Structure formats: C-alpha cells, structure tokens
C-alpha cells in the first residue's frame, strides 16, 4: 500500500511504500548523485595556442581543456619576459611568433611551429598536484656559472633544463639529459616563487625537438614524451592532440633530443 506524505508549500507528492525500508530514498538519490558527479568533473583551464599552418599562415585559438599535468606541461615552461636567442637576435617569449627560427643548444636553427600559453592565478583552491604547479622557479643571475643565466630568470612550473655534467656521464653514461628545473631548488640561488598576481606562462614546439637558449641556459622545447599516446584513454588523447593543430598526431613530434630524468634521479647524482 502506498501513502502520500503531508507536503509543504511548493513540494510535489511522492508515493512511498511504508513496507519497503528503502522507500523515499529515490527522491534523495538524484541530488546526491548529481553532487558527486560535479565533484568528479575535472577542473578545466583556458589554453591559448598559436601555430603555423602548412601554407605559412599563423592561426590562433583558445580552448578549454582539463587542468591536469598532461595538458599544463605543454603550456608552462617559460614565464613572461623570458628572452630566447633567435636568428634575429634576442626575443622575449611574448613577442616570439610561429615561423621565426630560434637557436638551439644543439647548434641548429629551428623554426618555431607552435607557441602555447596559459595564465596562472594565485590562491586558487586546487588539489595538491595543482598547488605544486602554481609555484614558479626563479634562477638568480650566474647561479650555474658566468652568464648562466645572464640575468635572473623565472621559469614556469613545468620547465626542464638540459643538464650536462661529468657526474651524469659517470653515473648513467649520458652526455646530456632533461631534468625538472625544480630539482635545483636550494633556497639561495634557485628559489621557489609563488606569484601574488596572475602570470602568463608559455611553451614552444620546434619543427625538430631541441633545447631553447634562454638567458644563457638550455631549456627543453615542448615534447609530449615517447609513448604518451599509449598511456591515456582515447577521449583524453583526442582532446590533447587538438591542442596541436599543426600536427596530424603526436608521432609528428619526432624523437626527443635527449632523455629525461626525474627529480629523484637527479638528486641521486649529488649523493
């Protein structure tokens, strides 16, 4: 038998079976499920891309995509004001355009085919991983030797430096490797900085992967990493590939110029 509860103003009648212990719960489940669904939805961020078409034209787009390390790494290596060496001389990252050629640490001139940017907002309530990404890395002048860097340099949260060190060769046999800039934090000459105002950060894709010459340091140009397409689901892969309209697939990035080491692998070199 079903009965109808007494209703308050504006409420709709719901039949309830008093012999069923779960009666009436169905009315409360949809809001709870909806709330859980909202909490499960990933945070999104606005990403801006500027790329070179096959015809040589420059196009731009702005897309919303998940605010996850996979996406943010492609847009957050160089802070506004970073100066790159190009065939035309020093150029600030915010003035660099697809089609210009930059000078790489590998001794080549490589054409820029894509530039991405995003804005870091301070004080955002995010998860632990995203909080780590909000911090920038300030490398003070000559922290790594004369002219390295020539002036203070602020790098984005996902920047990697090209390490060339005798200890690297002795331990791993590698002549060079890309390591997170954060691996060099010492609180004195390499400092973690939390921005107090919005900061625009950038990354660059070259026609052939290499190391950007930035203020006397070698910063890795963006590369998604080998085999990344096998590590993410097809829907996320499609969203990620859409950020790079100049390429038909991630395979077009080609091989990386040097292997990568984790922060922990780098720290083991100094032990």
Residue spans of alpha helices (H) in 83-156: 128-134
Report the CATH fold assignment for 44-159+179-258: Endonuclease - Pi-scei; Chain A, domain 1 (2.170.16)
Please report where in the chains the tokens 């800039």 appear, as a residue.
Answer: 181
Residue 143: which of 155, 134, 135 has the closest Cα?
Answer: 155
Q: Give, for 162, the enclosing helix (H) or strand (E).
A: strand 160-163
Report residue 185: phi and psi, to 5°. Answer: -60, 130
Assess contact for 245 and 165: CB atoms under 8 A.
Answer: no
CA–CA distance, 66 with 70 (Å, rounded to integer):
9
Domain ranges of the chain: 44-159+179-258
| Mean pLDDT by groups of 10 residues along the chain of 271 residues | 38 40 41 45 87 94 94 96 96 97 97 97 56 78 94 95 87 89 94 93 98 97 92 92 95 95 80 64
| Amino acid 42: pLDDT | 66
pLDDT value at position 162?
96
Instruction: Report the distance separating Cα 260 and Cα 181, nearest Å.
Output: 12
Sign of torsion over alpha carbons 167, 171, 176, 181 = negative
Residue 38 makes CB contacts below 8 A (sequence gap 6+) with none
Name 78's Cβ contacts closer than 8 Å, sequence gap at least 6.
84, 93, 155, 156, 159, 201, 202, 203, 204, 212, 214, 219
* 161: number of Cβ within 10 Å: 25
Distance of CA 16 to the CA centre of its chain: 52
| pTM for this model (two decimals) | 0.80
Look at phi and psi of residue 203 and say left if phi exceeds 0, alpha if psi is from -120 to 50, else beta. Answer: beta
């Amino acid at each position: 038998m079903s009965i109808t509860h007494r209703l308050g103003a504006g409420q709709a009648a719901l039949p309830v079976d008093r012999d069923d212990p779960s009666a009436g719960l169905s009315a409360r489940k949809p809001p709870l499920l909806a709330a859980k669904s909202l909490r499960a939805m990933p945070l999104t961020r606005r990403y801006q891309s500027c790329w070179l078409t096959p015809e040589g034209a420059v196009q731009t787009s702005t897309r919303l995509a998940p605010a996850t390390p996979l996406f943010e790494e492609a847009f957050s290596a160089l802070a506004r004001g970073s100066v790159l060496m190009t065939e035309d001389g020093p150029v600030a990252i915010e003035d660099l355009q697809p089609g210009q050629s930059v000078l790489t640490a590998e001794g080549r001139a490589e054409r820029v085919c894509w530039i991405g940017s995003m804005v870091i907002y301070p004080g955002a309530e995010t998860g632990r991983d995203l909080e780590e990404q909000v911090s920038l890395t300030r490398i003070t002048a000559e922290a790594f030797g004369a002219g390295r860097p020539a002036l203070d340099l602020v790098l984005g949260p996902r920047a990697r430096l090209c390490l060339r060190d005798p200890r690297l060769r002795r331990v791993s046999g590698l002549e060079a490797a890309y390591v997170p800039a954060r691996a060099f934090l010492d609180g004195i000459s390499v400092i973690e900085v939390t921005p107090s105002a919005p900061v625009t950060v950038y990354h660059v894709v070259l026609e052939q992967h290499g190391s950007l010459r930035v203020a006397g340091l070698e910063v890795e140009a963006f590369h998604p990493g080998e085999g990344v397409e096998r590590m993410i689901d097809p829907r996320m892969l499609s969203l990620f590939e859409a950020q790079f309209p100049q390429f038909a697939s991630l395979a077009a990035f080609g091989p990386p110029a040097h292997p990568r080491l984790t922060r922990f692998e780098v720290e083991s070199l100094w032990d």
